[in-house]
């Protein structure tokens, strides 16, 4: 039995220790807002916050999570910066198919927590999540807007 802390709540999960956090979130806890895209930490659809840092959960074994504070897209509007990011996403009408956007919103929230006023180059460095609909420019505009 492993205990993890997700969105402020402790959960006990009975899984193999190497199970990626992604699959515990999705299939064990039913938190399906975090997406599976590639499974090899290339696309970023599975991005969550672990102690405030953007982490690709498909490559994070559950036994390495420990007592870290995990935040998923389901709790994004409970976070002050996350709420601003979501509002900016709506304002800029960022999503198209939307599948990558949970990860984009989480990555943007992590960026703004560390760097409240990122430059274009900061955004380029931090926001490496893939979007097949090509919403990259709107993602960048929305981050600037959320930064105020």
- Binding stretches for another protein (CB under 8 A): 15-16, 19-20, 23, 26-28, 30, 32-40, 42-43, 45, 72-74, 76-77, 86, 89-90, 93-102, 105, 123-124, 127-128, 130-140
Q: How far is the CB of 52 from another protein (least distance, A)?
A: 18
Distance CA(58)–CA(36), nearest Å, equals: 7
CB atoms within 10 A of CB 51: 12
| Tokens at 3, concatenated | 């205990």
| Tokens at 78, concatenated | 């409970």
Q: How far is the CB of 38 from another protein (least distance, A)?
A: 5
Q: Which residue has the tokens 């409240």?
A: 116
In the bound state with another protein, the residue whose beta carbon lies nearer, of 51 and 78, is: 78
- Indicate the DSSP class of residue 67: T
In the bound state with another protein, the residue whose beta carbon lies nearer, of 5 and 141, is: 141
In the bound state with another protein, the residue whose beta carbon lies nearer, of 9 and 93, is: 93
Q: How far is the CB of 3 from another protein (least distance, A)?
A: 18
Q: How far is the CB of 28 from another protein (least distance, A)?
A: 7
| Phi, psi dihedrals of residue 105, rounded to the nearest 5° | -65, -40
Distance CA(59)–CA(39), nearest Å, equals: 7
């Amino acid at each position: 039995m492993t205990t993890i802390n997700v969105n402020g709540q402790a959960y006990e999960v009975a899984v193999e220790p190497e199970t990626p956090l992604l699959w515990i979130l999705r299939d064990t806890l039913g938190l399906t807002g975090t997406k599976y895209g590639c499974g090899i930490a290339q696309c970023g659809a599975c991005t969550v916050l672990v102690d405030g840092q953007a982490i690709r959960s498909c490559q994070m074994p559950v036994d390495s999570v420990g007592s870290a504070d995990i935040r998923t897209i389901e709790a994004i509007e409970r976070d002050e910066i996350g709420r601003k990011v979501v509002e900016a996403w709506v304002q800029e009408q960022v999503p198209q198919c939307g599948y990558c956007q949970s990860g984009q919103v989480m990555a943007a929230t992590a960026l703004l927590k560390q760097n409240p006023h990122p430059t274009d180059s900061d955004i380029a460095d931090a926001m490496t999540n893939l979007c097949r609909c090509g919403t990259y420019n709107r993602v960048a505009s929305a981050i600037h807007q959320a930064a105020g």
